[in-house]
A = this chain, B = another copy of it.
Amino acid sequence: MNWINGETPEGFLEAKTLGEHLGEIVKIRGSVHKIRRMTGFAFVLIRQRKGIVQGILSPEYTPFPLEELEEELCGNFTVEVVPEERSKTGFDLRILAVEILSRPKALSPVVLNQKNLDVNLETALNYRPLTLRHEKERAVFKIQAEMTRSFREFFHQEGFTEIHTPKIVYAGAEGGANIFALPYFGKEAFLAQSPQFYKQMMVGVFERVFEIGPVFRAEKHDTSRHLNEYTSVDLEMGYIASFQEIMEVETRMMRHLMAHLEENAQEELRLLGVTLPSVEAIPALKFSEAKALLWGEEAGAEFSPDLEPEEEKRLCALIYEEIGSEFVFVTHYPTTKRPFYAMEDPQNPEETLSFDLLFRGVEITTGGQRIHEYGEQVAKMNRRGMTMEDFESYLMIHKHGMPPHGGLGLGMERLTSRLLQQDNVRRATLFPRDTQRLIP
C-alpha cells in the first residue's frame, strides 16, 4: 500500500514570475515555440501555458546540442536568470540543461510561431487541436474562460444557485423543427434547445437559479452567427416586480464582466487589440420603436414580426451613432414570434414582456417574463393548439404556486465573438458544430 498525501509537485516557474528570481537557477517547462539560430548560439522560445519566454542555448553554458531541439518538442529546462539591462525583460535566460519529455513526429501543417495564424477559417478549424496552440487563438478562450468565471462570480453575489438540468429531454422548449431527435430506449427523445422548463421549475425551489451549459439547435442556417451546439448562460429569477428587473440584472452582469476582464484578462485583450465597451446605462426601445427608427413611422404595418440580422446591425449602428452605446435592449416583441410561456403585456396582448439584448450588431440575449398563473398558461396553450398532456410536469409549477418570474439566455460564443470583433462566431467556439462540421 502507498499513501497519497496531496503533495504539491516541484515548482516550475512561469514566464511572468521569472523576474523575481534574478541570479537564481530555476526550472521552467514548455514547448519549443521557435528556434532562432545566431552565430555560435541560438535563441530558443519556450511556450508555456501563459506567455512565451526566450532562452539562450549556447555551448558556453551547456553541452546540450542545438540539433537535439525542434519546434513543438516538450521539455523541462534548467535555466539561470541573469540580469541583463539590454533585455526587455531585464534578464537573460541561460539554458543550462534540457530534459526532453516528448518529440513531435512531423512538422506542423500550420505555422504556429508567427505573429498571426495566417490560414483561412476552414483550415484553422480543421487543424483546431494545433491552431489553438497559437498565442492569439488561445487568448480567445482564455478570455472566454474568464467571462464564464465572471458570470458565476456575479451570480453568486446576487444570490443565484447553480443547477444542472438534463440535456436529453422529452419535449423542446422552443418547439418547431429546430430540434435534434434521438432514439432513447425504445422512445423518442430530444436534445434540449434550452434549460427553459427546468430553470422555471427551479425558481419554485431556489428563487434564483443559473446554468451555464450546452444547448442544441438543429437549425439549417449556415451563417457566421449560427452554431448547432453552443454554450448558453441561462438565468431565471422569481419575485420580479416587472420584466425590467431582468434587464437591470443583465446590465449589472455586463458591467461586472467588463470590470472582471479588465482585471483578469488584460494581457490577452492587449494581444488581440480589443477595446472593451463601456456599460453605463443601456438604452431600451420597444420593438415597434426600433422598426420605426429603421423604416420610418409610416411603414409600420408591413414589418416582419421579428428583427432580421441586417436590421439588428443597422439598429446597433444607429444607436451607437446617436447615443454612443454599443448595447441596446429591444423590448415588447410581437406575441406571435415568442414562445407559449412568454407573458403578454396586459396593456396590449399582441406584445410580450420580453426583450433581446443586441451588442455590436448581433442579438446576444433573449429574455422576458414568463406566465406564472395556471389558468393563463393553459388558455394560451389551448389557443396555440398544444397538447396539455405533453407538458404535465411543466404545468405542475403553475398549478401549485409560482411567483412572478422571468429570465434570460445568453449565447456565450456570440458574446465572445462580438467582444473580440471577430467575423464569425466559430472563431469563438473551441470545436464548432455546424451543418457541415462534426470533426474535430
Contact = CB atoms under 8 A, between A and B. Distances in A.
B283 A74 contact: no
Q: How large is the interface on A (under 10, 10 to 19, 20 to 34, 35 or more residues)?
A: 35 or more
Counting every copy of the chain, the complex holds 2
Contacts of A191: 168, 182
B204 A49 contact: no
A301 interface: no
A332 B29 CA distance: 28
Contact of A204 (B129, B331, B439): B129
A187 B148 CA distance: 32
A180 interface: yes
A7 interface: yes
Interface string A191-209: 1000001100110111110
Interface in A202-226: 202, 204-208, 213-214, 216, 220
Given A102-B402, A102-B403, A149-B162, A169 B438 contact: yes
B438 A187 contact: yes
A247 B7 CA distance: 10
B168 A130 contact: no
A145 B161 contact: yes
Interface of A: 1-10, 12, 29, 31, 48-49, 72-74, 76, 101-106, 108, 126-130, 132-133, 138, 141-142, 144-145, 148-149, 152, 156, 159, 161-170, 180-185, 187, 189, 191, 197-198, 201-202, 204-208, 213-214, 216, 220, 228-229, 231, 238-239, 241, 244-245, 247-248, 251-252, 255, 279-285, 289, 329, 331, 372-375, 393-394, 396-404, 412, 430-433, 435-436, 438-440
